[in-house]
Chain A
Amino acid sequence: MKLSRREFMTLAGGSTAGAVIFTACGVPADELLVEAPLDLPEDLVNGIDSWFATTDDSGLGVIVRVMEGRAKKIAGNPDYPINLGKQAAHTDTALQALYHPDRVEGPMLRRAKGQPLTPISWDDANGLLEQWMSDAEGNLAIVTNPVRGADAKIARDVASAYAGRLVFFDPLEQGVLHSAIKTVFDQNRVPEFDIAGAHTVLSFGADWLGTWLSPVRYGTKYGDFRGGDHRGFMMHAESRMSLTAAAADRWLTVNPGYEGDLAISIASVIVKDQLVPENNISAYTANIPEGELEKWAPESVADRVGVSAELIKEAAHKFAEDGPSIAFGGGSAGAQTNGAFNLTAIYALNILAGTIGKKGGVQFNPAGAQGLPDSATGASFETWENELSHWRAGNVKTVITRGVDLVHGLPRSVDVGGALDKVDNVVAFTGVLDESSEHANLILPENSYLEDWGLDVPEPAPGYEVVGLRQPVVNAPLDGETRARLYDSRNFLDTLLLAAGSRVSVGSVKEFVEDTVADLYAAGRGSVTAGDSRLFMNGVLQRGGWWDVGASAATGTPSSIPSPLANAAGPGMSELDDRVEGHVFTIVPFAHQSLLDGRNASTPWAQATPDPITTVAWATWAEINFDKAEEMGISEGQWIKVRTTAGEITVQAYPHPGISPNLIAIPVGQGHKEGIGGRYAEDRGENVLNILVDKKESETGALAWAATRAVVTKAGGSKELPKFEGDARAIIRPAEHGVPILIVEPGQSAHDAQEHNHELHLRFISNDE
């Protein structure tokens, strides 16, 4: 269109005036509406908030602030014994998962492999599911994240109704931990670690204040450990500076895979110097051949372990002399080819401490109430290899996945995508589309936990019986204008139960929850007392669960244990390919503080939470030692190639002083391809899990995910890392010591420390001139 000058001026003038008027008077019409609903439950009064108790998907009790059916805030449930009102960095991200703009809106079907997804109705989807499940009689696989309580019970019932199996998947599996606890303590559940009651804590490998098991629970205990009448002493052995290593009074920079040697070396000092009572020593050494322990004398192991003999001796003396003491570990210490040996050696230290079942020690947990499944861990990598070979052979007709992203979570070498493509029917329950949904025929939108019923038996439990109750606390999210439901999602298990029909005796999850709570009422004990079962149910709903402080497990110190040295072995690191042009590092993958293993990657809050150590957000980085990086000519933000025999990734370097020079630590959770994982996660970062080499733990067959070696080379170029550090610039330079963190020695007052720092500062300034 050709405009004359005059026409142009007229239009411009008109639109400017229009813009002014509409901006000035632009009150969105829908904000001036007050809705009067047809009927109004007491707890949904407009403008008034209510807090509802429920249980989240990481085993914490939470309360959710709800206004007009919409969730506004999640906080810890103060009544719940696990977290006592506290929460983790990722707790609130469930709100964004609930209202995620890229959440799957309705069921979708892929008519043939490689074809696009087309929306179908729930009726059709249910029909297909029913058909596919009965077709797969005898060869049905249901895959979920490790779940306990009602979820595990019902999923297992459905699987067995079709003579199929329920397989758990956890990318950073804890199977070795469960096996070591069984070996040392003969327990099926992870015990309670009474950190608050201990005076000395010695931990190995597990980032228990960051991401390991229940960091919130351990955090509450850590607060008391630090802040009670007696400030405890904490030692942590890990090869990278995790939050736990940062919190420790003494960081033991153990070489990966030598945690067991370190633990036994500490034990050898305690035994040799007779630092603990005779009974404890005899229980510990009962099955150790004479003279064996001496081979682990600090001087002989210090080099390979990477911790000096003096520090080992100091640790032994602290551990033995300033009790009660507790030792525990897991995480990367168990993710080695000798993981079972490492963890057995670590937990055996508790026998020397003599604190099992006592204050400040390891306390056992009773079995789950009402026979609910009380412990869960991902199936071992070996089991997964078997399972996938069945899929690949076409032996499995239907696979149902929920809450897991197998393609993202397993090493590339096992080719999960290829195996899924050999399965006739792949059904994926999901919130936001992930890597695995590309291989699914049927995508079913799953409820957020805020919309579901359920029962959880938390692990780790607090030493007594706890059942967490999950209830729907929000209304279905609606579109602001059309008032239509945004996401037509349903409960995963209810959908399976509908398809299973009369094959399973459970009608629905809600029914199961109500029946179990009625049984608890009949048992007549615990935290809720009520006149009838209906009031009892209300009581359980209000408190977010039921627990019985009296129902604890008997804990006795074992009089003897299997020799912790029986399977002693060094770690077996992955091979390197022939072409070594660069520096060799061992990869330490670790769970991200807010993305965890990647399950929160789709939410912008989890993405935007800075990593505590590096302060990086929105990206995948590689932590390498500061001096090593300097030697290699790598600076912050530079792209580096990390190559293993299984593949390579290109990530940005973040050099810092808190990591061994032979290690490269890379967080898990990112690395979704374009168009996958929602708008906030797609095409972002790299996935280190895919380039892990499939080394297995020798006894349990678990994936030794911390045993991969890589060649690191510069990839050329660099980019500024999106990090928080440097954002708040210090105004006053040079700052004194003690700004902003003032450090005092035990017993020293802040005033004295400040005076001392000030003197140092004055001296520093005068030298400067």
Chain B
Amino acid sequence: MASGEKTLNEQPQTDNGRPAWVKVLIPVLALGGVGVTAVLGFVMVFFITAWFGNPLPVLGFDQSPVQPIAFPHTAHAGSELLFNDDGSAKMDAEGKQLTGIGLDCTFCHRTVTDTNVAGIPPVETCVTCHRVIGSTQSEPLTLLRTIGLGDDPGPIQWKRVHRLPDHVRFVHEPHIRFLTDVGNTHVIANRDEAAILAGTQSDGSVLAAVTCSTCHGDIKSQTQVAQVEPLKMGQCVDCHRKNDAPTDCTTCHF
């Protein structure tokens, strides 16, 4: 056999006598193993978090989507001091730090006490105040253009934050009716004694706005609304059981 020729048996040898392709394979497998473990781990974390609470905010499961208009609930519903995004205090023209104006939730979400849905206010509702308050004025379209939604804005397409599956029928009205009723304040979750006290009427019932936090969390402190409660069936059923509400399946599923 002439020198320089290689036979099929003559694999390139490494120091410890293994073929070169094995040498490549080991790190590939090792990395692959790590990769697979990572992916599986991620999937597990995803499912576990999704099972017990809200899923990880990936693949469209963001609990706090960016809205077409950066509407701050802090300024409207809250009554605390306001800050800009960079942390500096938000000042008015006279150099005084602004506070939220503390609107009642039902000021904008008007149908919540009567019907299925809380209701997203039309732009006209915004204009009612913004004709005189803030940096924008006059008609709904002008307001939307000023906010930067283009020349031909049309309706605002808000992104839904709190949503239930298609086979669930949730009606706000009876929940608000129950929570506002005399003697049921202990059911209101995340409760802020001061707020409840402030919202208690002379007959012992409370204002609707105090009850929202039970499921929606402290919206008035959120600049971008996020879903904080998992709103899973278990949560609904627990509460229904505790408070003698119907637990028949067709209460919500039909």
Q: What residues make up the interface of A, taking CB atoms closer than 8 Å to B?
A: 21, 25, 27, 32-40, 45-48, 483
Is there contact, CB below 8 Å, between B119 and A33? Answer: no
Which single residue of chain A is at the shortest CB-CB distance from B120?
Answer: A36
Contact A35 B59 (CB under 8 A): no
Q: Identify which of residues 157-180 in chain B touch chain A, using a CB-to-CB cut-off of 8 Å.
A: 157-160, 163
Assess the A38–B123 pair: CB atoms within 8 A. Answer: yes
Q: List 25 A-B contacts (CB under 8 A).
A: A25-B60, A25-B61, A27-B60, A32-B163, A33-B159, A34-B120, A35-B120, A35-B156, A35-B157, A35-B158, A36-B120, A36-B121, A36-B156, A37-B122, A37-B123, A38-B122, A38-B123, A39-B124, A39-B140, A40-B122, A45-B115, A46-B117, A46-B119, A47-B111, A47-B119
| A25-B59, A25-B60, A48-B117 given; 7 more Cβ-contact pairs under 8 Å | A27-B60, A37-B123, A40-B121, A40-B122, A45-B117, A48-B116, A483-B154
Contacts of B140 in A (CB 8 A): 38-39
Task: Determine how close the nearest CB of chain A comes to the CB of B102; give it in whole angstroms.
Answer: 22
Closest CB of chain A to B156's CB: distance in Å?
Answer: 4
Q: Are B117 and A47 in contact (CB under 8 A)?
A: yes
Closest CB in chain B relative to A384 CB, distance in Å = 50
- Asked if B115 and A48 make an inter-chain contact with CB atoms under 8 angstroms apart, the answer reads yes
Whether B117 lies near A36 (C-beta < 8 A) is no
- Tell me if B33 counts as interface (CB < 8 A to partner A): no
A485 to chain B, nearest CB (A): 13
Chain A residues positioned under 8 Å from B219 (CB to CB): none
Query: Is B155 part of the binding interface, using a Cβ–Cβ cutoff of 8 Å?
Result: yes
> What is the minimal beta-carbon distance from B146 to any residue of chain A, in angstroms?
14
Whole-angstrom CA separation of A372 from B121 in the bound complex: 44
**With A35-B155, A36-B156 in contact, do A47 and B115 touch (Cβ < 8 Å)?**
yes
Most buried by A among B121, B123, B140, B157: B157
Residues of A within 8 A of B117 (CB): 45-48
Taking a contact as CB atoms closer than 8 A, the residue among A36, A39, A40, A47 that contacts B158 in the complex is A36
Contact B122–A33 (Cβ < 8 Å): no
In the assembled complex, the CB of A14 is this many whole angstroms from the nearest CB of chain B, namely: 15
Per the 8 Å Cβ criterion, residues 117-155 of B in contact with A are: 117, 119-125, 140-141, 144, 154-155
- Bound Cα distance from A47 to B160, whole angstroms: 14
A352 to B123, CA, bound (A): 70
> Number of B interface residues, CB 8 Å?
25
In the bound complex, residues from chain A placing their C-beta under 8 Å from that of B157 are 33-35
Question: Which residues of B are at the interface with A, using a C-beta cutoff of 8 A?
Answer: 59-61, 111, 115-117, 119-125, 140-141, 144, 154-160, 163
What chain B residues lie within 8 Å of A39 (beta carbons)?
A: 122-124, 140
Shortest A378–chain B CB gap in Å is: 46
CA distance A34 to B116 in the complex (A): 15
Judging by beta carbons under 8 Å apart, are A36 and B111 in contact?
Answer: no
Known pairs A25-B60, A45-B119; A38 contacts B141 (CB<8 A):
yes
Q: How far is the CB of B113 from chain A (nearest CB, A)?
A: 13
Interface hub of B117, B144, B155 (most chain A Cβ within 10 A): B155
Q: Is the CB of B120 within 8 A of A46?
A: yes
**Docked CA distance A514–B111 (Å):** 33
Which residues from chain B contact A47 at a C-beta distance below 8 Å? 111, 115-117, 119
- Determine the distance from Cα of A25 to Cα of B58 in the docked complex, in whole angstroms: 10
In the complex, A39 Cα to B140 Cα: how many Å? 8
A48–B111 touching, CB < 8 Å: yes
CA distance in complex: A33, B120 (Å): 11
Q: Are B115 and A33 in contact (CB under 8 A)?
A: no
> Chain B nearest CB: distance from A44 CB in Å?
9
Q: Which residues of B contact A483 (CB under 8 A)?
A: 154
**Residues of A close to B158: CB separation below 8 A:** 33-36
Given A48-B116, A48-B117, A32 contacting B160 (CB threshold 8 A): yes
**In the bound complex, CA of A36 to CA of B156 (Å):** 5
Shortest C-beta distance, B60 to chain A (Å), equals: 6
How far apart are the CA atoms of A483 and B117 in the complex, in Å? 23
Which residue in B59, B155, B163 is a CB contact (below 8 Å) of A21? B59
Question: How far apart sit A21 and B158, CA to CA, in the bound complex (Å)?
Answer: 25
A37 touches B155 (CB 8 A): yes
- Cα-based distance from A21 to B116 in the complex (angstroms): 33
- In the bound complex, how far is the Cα of B127 from the Cα of A38, in angstroms? 10
In the complex, the chain A residue whose C-beta lies closest to that of B111 is: A45
How near does chain B come to A715, taking the closest CB pair, in angstroms? 49
A36 touching B116, Cβ below 8 Å: no
Query: Nearest 8 A-B pairs (CB), nearest first?
Result: A47-B117, A40-B122, A39-B124, A36-B156, A38-B140, A25-B59, A36-B120, A34-B158
Q: CA of A25 to CA of B123 in the docked complex: distance in angstroms?
A: 32
Chain A residues whose C-beta falls within 8 Å of the C-beta of B144 in the assembled complex? 38
Q: Tell me the bound Cα distance from A27 to B117 in angstroms.
A: 21
Question: Nearest residue in B to A35 (C-beta to C-beta)?
Answer: B155
Q: Given the complex, which residues of B lie within 8 Å of A35, measured CB to CB? A: 120, 155-158
Nearest residue (CB) in A for B158 is A34
| Structural contact, B60 and A36, CB atoms closer than 8 A | no
Min CB–CB distance B119 → chain A (angstroms): 6
User: Whole-angstrom distance between the alpha carbons of A34 and B111 in the complex?
Assistant: 15
Query: How far in angstroms is the closest Cβ of chain B from A617?
Result: 28
Question: Given the complex, which residues of A lie within 8 Å of B119, measured CB to CB?
Answer: 45-47
Q: How far is the CB of A16 from chain B (nearest CB, A)?
A: 15
B contact residues around A46 at 8 Å (CB) = 117, 119-120
Of listed A21, A27, A35, residue having the most chain B CB within 10 A: A35
Using known A-B contacts A45-B111, A46-B117, A47-B116, determine if residue A40 contacts B124 with beta carbons closer than 8 Å.
yes
CA–CA, A81 to B27, complex, Å?
86
Contacts of B125 in A (CB 8 A): 40
Identify the closest chain A residue to B156 (Cβ): A36
CB pair B111–A38 under 8 Å, yes or no, is no
Question: Nearest residue in B to A34 (C-beta to C-beta)?
Answer: B158
Chain A residues contacting B120 (CB-CB under 8 Å) are 34-36, 46
CA distance A579 to B158 in the complex (A): 74
Q: Are A36 and B163 interface neighbours, CB within 8 A?
A: no
Closest to B114 in A: A48
Rounded to whole angstroms, the CA-CA distance of A45 and B159 in the bound complex is 18
Whole-angstrom CA separation of A25 from B55 in the bound complex: 12
Q: Would A38 and B124 be within 8 Å (CB), given that A47-B116, A48-B115, A48-B116 are in contact?
A: yes
Which chain A positions have C-beta within 8 A of B121? Answer: 36, 40
Q: How far is the CA of A214 from the CA of B102 in the complex (A)?
A: 59
A36, B60: Cα distance in complex, Å:
22
- In the complex, which residues of chain B have a beta carbon less than 8 angstroms from the beta carbon of A32? 159-160, 163
Please report the C-alpha to C-alpha distance between residue A39 and residue B125 in the assembled complex, in whole angstroms.
8
CB distance from A475 to the nearest CB of B (A): 13
Cα–Cα, bound, A48→B159 (Å): 19
Please report the C-alpha to C-alpha distance between residue A45 and residue B116 in the assembled complex, in whole angstroms.
11
Task: Say whether B122 contacts A34, CB under 8 Å.
Answer: no
CA distance A401 to B23 in the complex (A): 85
Bound Cα distance from A37 to B123, whole angstroms: 6
Residues on the B chain within 8 Å of A37, using CB: 122-123, 155
Q: Which residue on B lies nearest to A21, using beta carbons?
A: B59
Closest chain A residue to B69, Cβ basis: A36
Residue of A nearest to B125 (CB): A40
| Residues of chain B lying within 8 A (CB to CB) of residue A36 | 120-123, 155-156, 158
Give the contacting residue for A33; candidates B60, B123, B160; CB below 8 A.
B160
